[in-house]
Every structure is written in structure tokens, then in C-alpha cells.
């Protein structure tokens, strides 16, 4: 589509029949069309156009105006239009020379493209301010290219246009040259002029210019005549003032339509009245995220509501539902609020395989503080909590929070799930990243990757896949944790909290996320045995002197390069992954059975 309104070249041709009064009246009648309009004339002399024996010689005598008459005609036209001259012979060149300051452009009919007499005369005139239209009727592409180069060099016009169209009696639709436009556009980098010569009162004469414009024509040429008197010549394809005005108004309307905004108010209103928007399938709780595959269907609703894209955009900004919502409700931006996101680091002093491992040293820090130091690097957290139990032996952990910003919480010694819920209530947390203190190399890069995936998916629970042991994180919503807890008044195995989520996909929207390749390894980066402690300290000793703020990626690169360090604890395994009796027990005891 070409949004600019086309320039219209009003072609007088010879409708005047040599009658100066007719021509003056015609110019006055079309004077109201101002702006993107030109008017083209055909000054000619019978003696420089034809020989006396030519059949139309006497007609050319009839059509002749003197140079003085042409000066008056062109001056009058110039008051409302840009003036163009259709050159047939050297007399036309004379008229251009004598009225050069009034001339905006000249045109060569296809029959004049090789007229050396005319071209030679024109080449003596400075045409640098003039445009040149070359009609290319019946000319092959190679000839057109040759003529363009020659005339461009010899005449040096301001701009060159290529014109499609020729006059036949009658001119049929197939003669219009519409089919040439694509070939000309592909071959030449010149704007196009379209001159149709269909019967002036026909429907096609109104439609064809529109089609040509929309296919790329910059100028439309139309023949005109008066309607109140006889027009002796060139009347077949000419439009009366009324017909031309109708065409002009049509062009105006279509130009306005082409320049309309990409989305207009009526279009927006149509969509607003007909769009099927997300509606909740089931009730949702405050603090929940919306999980599109499970939580919504699409309906026309009498309530205002967000689109899926808008919902996802809010969740991408780490927002959760601000209040409970019922089934068949829509959601609006007012129904969301920023989530409070917290890291809960679970830690106990009891450890059967490695006594008091929480306060054993990794470098200069106890292992629990080493972990907390890493967690404090996590972005987007509102709180970091070291969560332990109310037993006396765990009281010592209050001295190992590492930083004043880390809260210390003591809760139920057996029901870890309840302890987490109590932490969430105390700190008003909506979304939790679950960490155990025996994971010293947890990393912000993994956290950000999973946190983004969690909010973008609208899941209840998000976990990475195939990570090195001690690297993976779990992110879940407090609202989901509370729903699960309702089925387990005493969550006896919630030390293995992962099972309560992953073992109940019918109740939990689980989002398993592939981690970046760098974190997918078989390394063991957890603390449970003496060999683990030795390996973790070996990594710390190697990396910390050069960069105290080294990352998990640095650790992975180091272990890739030092398999002897990675091998220090590679023979160890996780009981909950290898002990089938424990696995069977957990699968049974953590399954929701309503």
C-alpha cells in the first residue's frame, strides 16, 4: 500500500479543438483542484509535426495556437497548477523555451523518444528544474533502459518518470498496461506515471487509477473535457468536471483510509466487544500465580479483564494475585501486587553422617555462613531467613547468621513444612526459594534463571533439571505450600519436602526447567561427609585467593580442569536417590489421598 495521495496530472490534450474560449473555460472549471495537481498541454504546429499530405494535417492546423496565445494559456494555468508540456515537435520546444519559468515538467510520447530534432533542440535548454515523463508504450525493457540513459545524460532533468498507457480507439482494459508495473518496478528505480485511456464515463475509468496507485504509481494522468458543450477531439477517454470530481473524492477517501493508524478506535471498540478474554476456571488464592494451561479458559465476559499477554507481563514483573478470586472471574491489573520473595535456608545441628556440619569450616567461614554469604548475592529477594528448630542444640545457629540482614527463625523441630509456613507468615512471603545450608555453592545465576521461569510460567513449583548435586534450587508459592499442608496435618517426612510437591502433579503446577549447560554436571557440591568437606575446601583454597567473589561458573570451570578434585567425593551418593526402600516409602507417605 502507498499511503500518500497520488499526484494527478490533468491532461487537456486537444479537447479544446482549437477554441481558445473552450480552453479558458476548461481551465477555470478545473481551477478549484489545487495542491497535488498538474495540468498538461500539447502545443503543436502542423508544419513541424506533419507534412501536408498527412491525413490529420488539417486537424493540426485547426488545433494550432500562436506563441502569444500559449503564453497567456500557460500563465493562467500556472496560477492554480503546475504546468506540464507534452512535446511532439520543435514548436513544442519553442513554447517551453519561451515560457521556461512557468514549466514544471515535460513529457515525451513513446513516438518522440527517438526524435533527434526535438531532443537536440531541448538539449540546448536548461531543464535542471524540470521533471521528464517518458511514455514507454510498445518499447521493450532493453530499449527503455537505453533511452533513459541517453535522455538523462543529454537533457539532465530534475527527475525522470516512466509512463504506462497509450490511446487507442477504443482503449480496452487489457490495453491499460497495468501488467507492466511490476516489471518496471523490478527493473528500474524510477517513479511511475499511469495514464489510462478507458472510456471516461465507465466504472473502469474510476477503478483503474486506484489500482495503479495502490500498485505504486506516483502520478495519475486523466484526460478532461467540459460537459456543457461539444468536444470534437479526445473526448473518448476524457472525464467531465463532475466525473473528475467523483474520482478526486474517491482518491481522497482512499488516501485517508491508507493513512489511518494501524489500529483505529472503531477497530479497538470492535475487538473490545467481541474478544474472548481469560476467565478463571477455578478459585485462586491471594499470593497465587496464574498458570495459563490449567487456570484459565477464554470467554466473552461482561467484566473487564486482562489479556493473557497482559497477565504474563505482570507476572514477569514478579507480581502475584493480591486477593482471592472466584471461578469465572476475570483479572485486572488491580488484582495484582508485587510479590514478597524470600530465601529460606533450612539448617539443623543434628547430622548423623557428619557431626555439627553446619558449623564446620569452609575456608574462613562456617559452612552455614558460607551458604548464607552466597544467598545474600541473590537479586530480587525481600528477605533471607535462616530457619532452624526450637531444640536446644540448634540455638547456637543464631550466632551464625553471617549478616545482620539475615533473620533467624526457630520453628517446629519435626514438621519442616509447618516450619516453612510459619516463616512465610512471619515475613509475609509469597514466593520462596528453598535452600539447605549444606549447599555452599548456590548461585544467583541459577536462581535468576529459575525465578524468571517460575513467574513466566505461573507455576506453583519450579525446579531445575540435571544440575550438579548441591546446585539446584526449588522455588514455590506459599499459597501452594499451605494447600498441600492441609492434606498432611503432621508432615512426618517433610525433611524431604521435594516429594510433597513432585509426587502430587494433580495438585501442583510443576515447572521443570532445563538449566544452562554450564551447570549440568555430575559433580557433588554438597556437604554430608568428610570427603565433601575436603573437596569443598580444596575448591575454596584454589579460587578464593584470586577472586573472593568467585561464582558457581568459576567452580565448574575449575572442576572441569581438575578432575582429581572433582573425584575426591564422586564415589558418594544421595540416599534418597539410591535407597529404593526409602524412595518407596516417600512415594507412599507424601502422596495426597483426598
Distance CA 425, CA 470 (A): 27
- Asked if 193 and 144 sit in the same domain, the reply is yes
Is 220:212 a contact under the CB 8 Å cutoff? yes
Rounded Cα–Cα distance for residues 151 and 114 (Å): 10
Split at pLDDT 50, 70, 90, the class of 576 is low
Confidence of residue 7 (pLDDT cuts 50, 70, 90): very high
Query: Could you tell me the CATH number of the domain that includes residue 140?
Result: 3.20.20.70
What is the tens place of the pLDDT at every residue in 68-110?
Answer: 999 999 999 999 999 999 999 999 999 999 999 999 999 999 9
Can you give the pLDDT at residue 271?
Answer: 82
Residues in the chain, total: 594
Same structural domain, 37 and 86: yes
Is 37 in contact with 10 (CB distance < 8 Å)? yes
- Domain membership of residue 202 (yes or no) is yes
pTM score, two decimals?
A: 0.64
- Inter-helix orientation angle 416-427/478-485, to 10°: 140
Please indicate, yes or no, whether residues 350 and 485 belong to a single structural domain of this protein.
yes
CA 570, distance to chain mean position in Å, is 49
Determine the pLDDT at residue 422: 97
* Residue that is last in its domain, among 289, 312, 338: 338
Number of other residues whose CB lies within 10 A of the CB of residue 301 = 15
Q: What is the pLDDT of residue 29?
A: 97
In a domain, 16, yes or no: yes
Same domain, 174 and 90: yes
Please report the pLDDT score of residue 257 as a whole number.
87
Residue 192 has pLDDT above 60, yes or no: yes
Instruction: Give residue for cell 498432611.
Output: 488
9 DSSP β-pair partners: 38, 221
DSSP characters over 45-105: -HHHH--TTSTTHHHHHHH---HHHHHHHHHHHHTTSEEEEEE-SHHHHHHHHHTGGGEEE
- Does the pLDDT at position 8 exceed 90? yes
CA atoms of 461 and 286, how far apart (whole Å): 16
The verdict on 467 and 498 lying in the same domain is: yes
- Going by C-alpha positions, the residue among 453, 462, 461 that lies closest to residue 479 is 461
What is the average pLDDT score of the chain?
A: 94
pLDDT of 234-278, one tens digit each? Answer: 888 899 999 999 999 999 999 888 888 999 999 988 888 888 999
pLDDT, tens only, 504-527? 999 999 999 999 999 999 999 999
**Helix and strand numbers, DSSP H then E, in the chain:** 23, 21
Say yes or no to pLDDT of 376 above 90: yes
Boundary (domain end) residue, out of 258, 277, 302: 258
User: Which residues, 6 or more positions from 267, have their beta carbon under 8 angstroms from its beta carbon?
Assistant: none
Q: Given pLDDT bands bounded at 50, 70 and 90, which one contains residue 169? A: low
* Domain C-terminal end among 211, 230, 258: 258
Question: What pLDDT is recorded for position 226?
Answer: 95
Indicate the pLDDT class of residue 229, thresholds 50, 70 and 90: confident
Domain identity same for 233 and 270: no
- Assigned domain for 190 exists: yes
Looking at 3-17, 55-69, 219-233, 567-581, which range is the least confident one? 567-581
Domain assignment present for 2: no
Q: Looking at residue 516, what DSSP letter applies?
A: P
Q: What is the pLDDT of residue 2?
A: 43
* DSSP type of residue 239: B
If asked whether residues 443 and 330 sit together in one domain, one would say no
Q: Is 384 helix (H, G, I), strand (E, B) or coil?
A: strand
Q: Could you give the percent of the chain with pLDDT greater than 70?
A: 98
**Pair 449, 513: CB distance under 8 Å:** yes
In a domain, 1, yes or no: no
Find the range with the poorest average confidence among 131-135, 305-309, 404-408, 446-450.
Answer: 305-309
pLDDT in tens, 559-574: 999 999 999 999 987 7
- What is the DSSP-derived secondary structure letter of residue 469? B
Q: Are residues 410 and 454 in the same domain?
A: yes
Rounded-to-integer distance, Cα 244 and Cα 572, Å: 92
Do 234 and 274 lie in one domain? The reply is: no
- CATH classification of the domain holding 525: 3.90.550.10
Mean pLDDT of all residues in 577-594: 83
Reading the block at residue 186, the C-alpha cell is: 523490478
- 498 SS3 class: helix
For residues 334 and 349, membership in a common domain is answered with no
Domain count, the chain: 3
For residue 30, being part of any structural domain is answered with yes
For residue 236, the model assigns a pLDDT of: 87
Q: Which three cell numbers stand for residue 216?
A: 505504486
259 and 217 Cβ atoms separated by less than 8 Å: no
Closest Cα partner for 429 from 389, 482, 388?
482
- Count the neighbouring beta carbons within 10 Å of the beta carbon of residue 254: 16
Which triple of cell numbers denotes residue 561? 580442569
Does residue 377 belong to any structural domain of this protein? yes
Lowest mean pLDDT among 87-96, 355-364, 580-589: 580-589
Enclosing domain of residue 152: 7-258
Q: How far apart are the first and last CA of the chain?
A: 62
Q: Say whether both 78 and 208 belong to one domain.
A: yes
* Statement to judge: residues 149 and 226 lie in one domain: yes
Flag whether 135 is in a domain.
yes
Task: Look up residue 181 and give its three cell numbers.
Answer: 508495473
Amino acid at each position: 500500500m502507498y499511503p500518500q495521495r497520488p499526484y494527478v496530472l490533468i491532461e487537456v490534450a486537444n479537447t479544446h479543438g482549437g477554441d481558445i474560449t473552450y480552453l479558458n473555460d476548461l481551465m477555470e472549471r478545473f481551477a478549484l483542484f489545487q495542491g497535488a495537481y498538474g495540468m498538461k498541454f500539447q502545443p503543436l504546429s502542423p508544419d513541424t509535426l506533419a507534412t501536408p499530405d498527412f491525413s490529420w494535417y488539417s486537424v493540426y492546423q485547426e488545433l494550432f495556437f500562436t506563441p502569444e496565445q500559449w503564453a497567456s494559456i500557460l500563465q493562467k494555468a500556472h496560477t492554480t497548477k503546475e504546468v506540464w508540456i507534452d512535446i511532439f515537435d520543435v514548436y513544442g520546444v519553442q513554447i517551453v523555451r519561451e515560457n521556461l519559468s512557468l514549466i514544471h515538467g515535460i513529457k515525451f510520447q513513446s513516438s518522440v523518444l527517438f526524435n533527434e530534432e526535438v531532443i537536440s533542440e531541448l538539449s540546448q535548454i536548461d531543464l535542471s528544474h524540470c521533471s521528464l515523463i517518458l511514455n514507454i508504450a510498445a518499447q521493450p525493457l532493453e530499449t527503455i533502459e537505453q533511452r533513459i540513459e541517453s535522455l538523462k545524460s543529454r537533457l539532465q532533468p530534475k527527475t525522470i518518470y516512466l509512463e504506462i498507457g497509450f490511446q487507442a480507439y477504443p482503449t480496452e482494459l487489457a490495453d491499460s498496461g497495468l501488467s507492466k508495473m511490476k516489471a518496471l518496478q523490478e527493473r528500474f528505480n524510477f517513479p511511475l506515471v499511469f495514464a489510462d485511456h478507458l472510456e471516461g464515463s465507465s466504472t473502469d475509468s474510476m477503478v483503474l487509477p486506484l489500482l495503479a496507485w495502490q500498485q505504486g504509481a506516483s502520478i495519475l494522468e486523466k484526460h478532461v473535457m467540459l460537459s456543457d458543450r461539444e468536444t470534437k477531439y479526445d473526448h473518448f477517454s476524457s472525464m467531465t468536471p463532475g466525473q473528475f470530481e467523483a474520482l478526486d473524492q474517491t482518491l481522497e477517501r482512499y488516501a485517508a483510509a491508507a493513512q489511518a493508524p494501524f489500529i483505529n478506535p472503531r477497530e479497538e471498540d470492535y475487538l473490545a466487544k467481541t474478544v474472548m478474554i481469560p476467565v478463571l476456571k477455578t478459585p485462586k488464592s491471594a499470593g497465587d500465580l496464574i498458570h495459563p494451561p490449567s487456570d484459565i479458559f477464554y470467554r466473552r465476559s461482561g467484566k473487564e479483564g486482562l489479556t493473557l499477554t497482559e497477565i504474563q507481563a505482570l507476572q514477569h514483573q514478579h507480581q502475584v494475585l493480591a486477593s482471592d478470586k472466584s471461578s469465572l472471574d476475570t483479572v485486572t491489573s488491580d488484582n495484582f501486587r508485587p510479590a514478597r520473595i524470600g530465601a529460606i535456608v533450612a539448617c539443623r545441628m543434628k547430622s548423623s553422617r557428619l557431626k555439627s556440619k553446619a558449623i564446620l569450616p569452609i575456608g574462613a567461614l562456617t559452612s552455614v555462613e558460607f551458604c548464607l554469604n552466597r544467598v545474600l548475592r541473590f537479586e530480587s529477594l525481600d528477605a533471607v531467613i535462616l530457619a532452624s528448630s526450637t531444640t536446644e542444640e540448634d540455638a547456637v545457629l543464631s550466632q551464625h547468621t553471617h549478616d545482620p540482614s539475615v533473620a533467624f527463625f526457630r520453628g517446629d523441630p519435626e514438621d519442616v513444612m509447618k516450619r516453612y509456613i510459619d516463616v512465610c507468615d512471619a515475613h509475609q512471603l509469597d514466593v520462596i526459594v528453598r535452600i539447605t545450608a549444606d549447599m555452599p555453592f548456590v548461585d544467583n545465576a541459577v536462581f535468576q534463571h529459575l525465578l524468571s521461569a517460575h513467574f513466566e510460567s505461573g507455576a506453583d513449583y519450579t525446579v531445575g533439571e540435571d544440575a550438579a548435586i548441591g546446585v539446584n534450587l526449588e522455588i514455590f508459592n506459599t499459597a501452594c505450600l499451605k494447600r498441600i499442608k492441609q492434606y498432611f496435618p503432621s508432615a512426618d517426612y517433610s525433611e524431604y519436602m521435594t516429594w510433597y510437591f513432585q509426587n502430587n502433579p494433580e495438585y501442583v503446577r510443576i515447572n521443570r526447567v532445563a538449566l544452562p549447560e554450564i551447570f549440568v554436571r555430575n559433580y557433588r557440591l554438597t556437604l554430608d561427609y568428610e570427603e565433601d568437606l575436603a573437596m569443598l575446601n580444596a575448591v575454596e583454597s584454589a579460587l578464593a585467593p584470586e577472586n573472593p567473589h568467585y561464582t558457581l561458573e568459576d567452580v565448574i570451570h575449575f572442576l572441569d580442569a581438575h578432575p582429581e578434585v572433582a573425584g575426591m567425593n564422586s564415589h558418594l551418593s544421595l540416599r534418597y536417590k539410591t535407597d529404593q526402600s526409602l524412595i518407596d516409602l516417600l512415594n507412599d507417605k507424601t502422596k495426597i489421598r483426598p
